[in-house]
Amino acid sequence: MEFTAKQIADFIGGRVEGNEQATVHTFAKIEEGKEGAITFLSNPKYTHYIYDTKASIVLINEDVELEKPVFATLIRVPNAYECVAKLMQMYAASLPQKNGIDPLAFVSKTAEIGKDAYIAPFAYVGDGVKIGDGSKIYPHVTIYDGCQIGKNVTIHAGAVIGADGFGFAPNQEGYDKIPQMGIVVIEDNVEIGANTCVDRSTMGQTVIHKGVKLDNLIQVAHNCEIGENTVMSAQAGMAGSTKIGSWCMVGGQAGFAGHIHVADKTMIGAQCGVISNTKGNGENLIGSPAMDPKDFFKAKALYRRLPDMYKEISALRKELEELKKK
Amino acid sequence: MEFTAKQIADFIGGRVEGNEQATVHTFAKIEEGKEGAITFLSNPKYTHYIYDTKASIVLINEDVELEKPVFATLIRVPNAYECVAKLMQMYAASLPQKNGIDPLAFVSKTAEIGKDAYIAPFAYVGDGVKIGDGSKIYPHVTIYDGCQIGKNVTIHAGAVIGADGFGFAPNQEGYDKIPQMGIVVIEDNVEIGANTCVDRSTMGQTVIHKGVKLDNLIQVAHNCEIGENTVMSAQAGMAGSTKIGSWCMVGGQAGFAGHIHVADKTMIGAQCGVISNTKGNGENLIGSPAMDPKDFFKAKALYRRLPDMYKEISALRKELEELKKK
Amino acid sequence: MEFTAKQIADFIGGRVEGNEQATVHTFAKIEEGKEGAITFLSNPKYTHYIYDTKASIVLINEDVELEKPVFATLIRVPNAYECVAKLMQMYAASLPQKNGIDPLAFVSKTAEIGKDAYIAPFAYVGDGVKIGDGSKIYPHVTIYDGCQIGKNVTIHAGAVIGADGFGFAPNQEGYDKIPQMGIVVIEDNVEIGANTCVDRSTMGQTVIHKGVKLDNLIQVAHNCEIGENTVMSAQAGMAGSTKIGSWCMVGGQAGFAGHIHVADKTMIGAQCGVISNTKGNGENLIGSPAMDPKDFFKAKALYRRLPDMYKEISALRKELEELKKK
């Protein structure tokens, strides 16, 4: 499929500078632009690329002033980044979508699969599982018995939904397994990354509320709950029964102790260790154990100066002793 | 299957308060109790739920005094949590167990599979692998050639047993692979979580001793050894040739350097970084690098006060100089 | 296959002490040596094992002096560790190699698979994927549409190549997905560990350059680039658009913020948190946030002494006040 600069400008409400008939059929980063590609300039750091780019069309903010003529046709818009995202969404939606249950998938006879859902080769869908309309289950996903997946959910390759929670009771010779009899409920519009694990609850449900986005290799333990539209980066992990509020952002490799509550709109830094309930909505946390970022960076800066502080304390002691003698 | 309060009380040695003929067919958390469910009250924090719960039966400790009448039938027992675990185990054991080699599994002709073992669809069992009686291999588990799995072992979806250890020798142009010719041995009664990786050794064996429980997304490198009944939480990782003793508990996201020994019954906190041999049995460790928890929390508390300390040192210096002048 | 001490000594250029006709057919660690096995002594810590080992042949450095006679036949070499690695490589190369596309693999009709490549059961190779000559794709690997894999690449079980990068734009009700339209390019001689994830780029390519070795459970986000011959240990993670140079070594569980550059030959310690561009080639970094190791260990040592420092500051204050009064 090809589009002209004019067609694109009309679609996104932009203004063409240059050849209205310039055509594109693909997307590129500005530094890798080539003929037939559309790109965008949003970050001022990259402005110098626009004079050399081979891209046929560049989306650019209205207020950017250029110092030299450029080869590419420009489309002026209020927000180039938003426009390119919008174009990419339109383009992606126009591509043929995979659909239906692949003959190489395993789907239990007692599972229910919604309309226009896609179940890829080697996906495993256990007994009694429900998968809503339009959801996409990629290869090597395992959905254990009884779990419920909403509509327009995407689960990437290798993710495991509903494996047993990690529950054992010590006895004299070792550990007894505590059966994990609950399920996992994943609500609508959730995206779950590759090789991420969401464990079933001991009783009741582990719940991922609607709109949540989980990156790759994340651990969500039994009985956890993640609120609407919370976003979590790769390799983060939650211990059992912890509840995270809605609209939170969690950095990569962050960890949460068990049985704690994180308030709505909390921002958690990468590698953060959250060991107790957070104080309230909108808090920022960083470090392990988690602290306010201002305190964290102030203390961290002094941390590097600990040897100086130590020397100064010793000097003060020595000088004070001398003073006392007098 | 349904059970009456009387049947349950007789089975676990409890005493009924209320309707002996109340029946249940499922389990629920006390805050989610509904008719036909049995629940339990163990954590005093949750006592207020008992007055409203819709559960038909509540297991409750003998010594808990209630302030108002409750709708549910109570079964009084010495330890409600242990009793509910026992009931769940009984119930789980009564459910039909999956069994045998699923036609969608791949099992090498030279593998040996024990009696009553279950090999799920899309499990891969390589050449010469042995799997003991009663073991459960979930979907998308990969067991590389030659590895040995004991009896009553559970391996959750996506776990990888026996991939090559990470061994490379630098040459002038890059790295030569050091062939990983050993195997992985997993002893009886081990449980391995979803997407956890246990690498084969360079020579000899990587060994997971009996009763060990590994959570999800754990890394066990080549030539490691984990002692009996040690429990390790999600996303922990061990570098090569490290040996962890028996009855240890390892928190989530903890890491172990290579070639070190961790003594029996060591408790390792979440996100801990263990970089050298531990001192002896029963030690507690926390932080990265690992420290005694008392020291860790004392130092951590002062860490937040570093800016105050810094200011005080500067003030002392100034005042001392003034005093000297006099 | 069996080899005599003489054959091995001739092959690696060593000198036999003992029975030239001693034969071996396998490898063993020195502490686990048994008849028919060849082992090696390289680490002086293990010297005492040589007197008791049941191994038939021991490779040993020329300059090691033994205090007692040994049962095993010795082969004296300049570097025993290098020689055993060389022997293992030769032995491994002599074993029959798996080859071709297993009938239980899924390979899209539009994928191109090179000569002597191996595609294991339950591997998934998407539309338009290219896999070079001699590459090995283990079970449960997923390669999403359009990704390119070079020659002699090894991808271990459960790895996911080309899942969507983690890109979402907030709207008033939740998040819009930003389509991830790029690909992953993996160059020649790369090895990728079990359950590791390399995400496709938003536009353009996520690139793993030739000779890179990635351990298990690693996260490489969209638009990242890893330079030639860089080695990364298990559970490390890179956020989006970060570029790591060539010949770097990255420890386990280390994390990299997004959009940063790490220079060539940088050494990054385990659990390190790299949050900004590094300073130049050959730097060492440790801690989170990352610091120079000398500073790190000096500050860490004082960290444990913070309570002492605090007490001393209080004492100084008190004594100074007394002095002032006089």
- Predicted pLDDT of residue A102: 98
Is the pLDDT at B297 greater than 90? The verdict is no
Segment C8-49, tens digit of pLDDT: 999 999 999 999 999 999 999 898 899 999 999 988 888 999
Q: Which residues in chain A touch residue C323, judged by CB atoms under 8 angstroms apart?
A: 320, 323-324
Give dist(CA C155, CA C183) in Å, integer.
17
Predicted pLDDT of residue B172: 86
Nearest to A221 by CA among A162, A290, A273: A162
Q: With contacts defined as CB-CB under 8 Å, which chain A residues touch C163?
A: 138, 156-157, 193-194, 216
Name the residue facing C92 among B179, B219, B237 (closest C-beta): B179
ipTM value, please give it.
Answer: 0.94
The nearest alpha carbon in chain B to C154 belongs to: B164
Determine the distance in angstroms separating the CA of A11 from the nearest CA of chain C, rounded to an integer.
Answer: 18
**Residue C116 pLDDT:** 96
Beta bridge partners of A58: A39, A74
Indicate the average pLDDT of chain C.
94
A-contacting chains (≥3 CB pairs under 8 Å) = B, C
At residue C126 the predicted structure's pLDDT band, cuts being 50, 70 and 90, is very high
Of C171, C237, C181, residue with least CA distance to C204: C181
DSSP state of B286: B
pLDDT at A301: 85
- Specify the higher pLDDT residue, C304 or A110: A110
Q: For residue C249, name the pLDDT band (cuts at 50, 70, 90).
A: very high
- pLDDT tens column, B304-324: 888 888 999 999 999 988 888
Which regions of B56-204 does DSSP assign to beta strands (E)? 57-61, 73-77, 100-101, 106-107, 112-113, 118-119, 124-125, 130-131, 136-137, 142-143, 148-149, 154-155, 160-161, 168-170, 175-177, 183-186, 191-192, 197-198
Residues of chain A predicted below pLDDT 50: none
From the candidates B25, B140, B156, B222, give the one annotated as an active-site residue.
B222
The pairing of beta strand A191-192 with beta strand A213-214: parallel
User: C-chain residues within 8 Å CB-CB of A139?
Assistant: 106, 124, 142
Given a cut of 80, is residue B231 above it in pLDDT? yes
The pair phi, psi for residue C176, each rounded to 5°, is -90, 140
What is the mean pLDDT of the segment spanning C209-234?
98
What is the structure's pLDDT at A165?
A: 97
Residue A57's pLDDT is 96
Most C CBs within 10 Å, among A271, A291, A313, A321, to test the C interface: A271
- Residue B51 predicted with pLDDT over 80: yes
Using alpha carbons only, give the angle C148, C152, C158 rounded to the nearest 5 degrees.
Answer: 65
Give catalytic status of residue B222 as yes or no: yes
Task: Choose the mutation target among B102, B108, B110, B124 for the interface with C, i.e. most C CBs under 10 Å.
Answer: B124
B140: nearest CA in chain C? C140
In this model, does residue B221 exceed pLDDT 90? yes
Arithmetic mean of pLDDT, B3-8? 94
Q: For residue B259, what are the contacts with CB-CB under 8 A and spacing of at least 6? A: B239, B240, B241, B242
Poorest-confidence range of B69-73, B137-141, C135-139? Answer: B69-73
**How would you class A230 by CB atoms within 10 Å of its CB: exposed for 0-12, middle for 13-18, buried for 19 or more?**
buried
pLDDT reading at C241 higher than 80: yes
Of C32, C104, C195, the CB nearest to B160: C195
CA dihedral (B56, B59, B65, B67) in degrees, to 10, reads: -20
Top mean pLDDT of A64-68, B39-43, C145-149 is at: C145-149
B-C contacts (CB, under 8 Å)? 164
Angle at C197 between CA C192 and CA C200, to 5 degrees: 110
pLDDT-based confidence at C305, cuts 50/70/90?
confident
Q: Please give the C-alpha separations between residue C107 and each of A141, B18, C159, in angstroms, as whole numbers.
A: 17, 63, 16
Mean pLDDT, rounded, for C134-156 = 98
| Active-site option among A25, A48, A222, A259 | A222
Contact B85 A217 (CB under 8 A): no
Contact list in C for residue B303 (CB cut-off 8 A) is 303, 306
pLDDT at A326: 77
Interface test with C, best of A30, A156, A195 (most C CBs within 10 A): A195
CB C61 within 8 A of CB C43: no
Query: Do A195 and B217 make contact, defined as CB atoms within 8 angstroms?
Result: yes
| Interchain pair A299, B304: CB under 8 A | yes
- Distance in angstroms (rounded) separating the CA atoms of residues B180 and C92: 9
Report the pLDDT value the prediction gives residue C196, as an integer from 0 to 100: 98
Split at pLDDT 50, 70, 90, the class of B43 is confident
Q: Would you tell me how many other CB atoms lie within 10 Å of the CB of residue B216?
A: 33
Structure tokens at A224: 């956890």
| Closest CA of chain A from B5, distance in Å | 19
Cα distance between residue C273 and residue C278, in whole Å: 12
Q: Is B174 in contact with C210 (Cβ distance < 8 A)?
A: yes
Test C307 with B319 for CB contact under 8 angstroms: no
Tell me the chain B residues in contact with residue A206 when contact means C-beta distances shorter than 8 Å: none
User: Quick check: C176 and A320 CB within 8 A?
Assistant: no
The reported pLDDT for the residue numbered B42 is 87
Q: Determine, for residues B233 and A239 on separate chains, whether the beta-carbon distance falls below 8 Å.
A: yes
Tell which of A24, A94, A104, A140 to mutate to test the C interface (max C CBs under 10 Å): A140
**A203, A316, A319 ranked by CB distance to B27: nearest:** A203
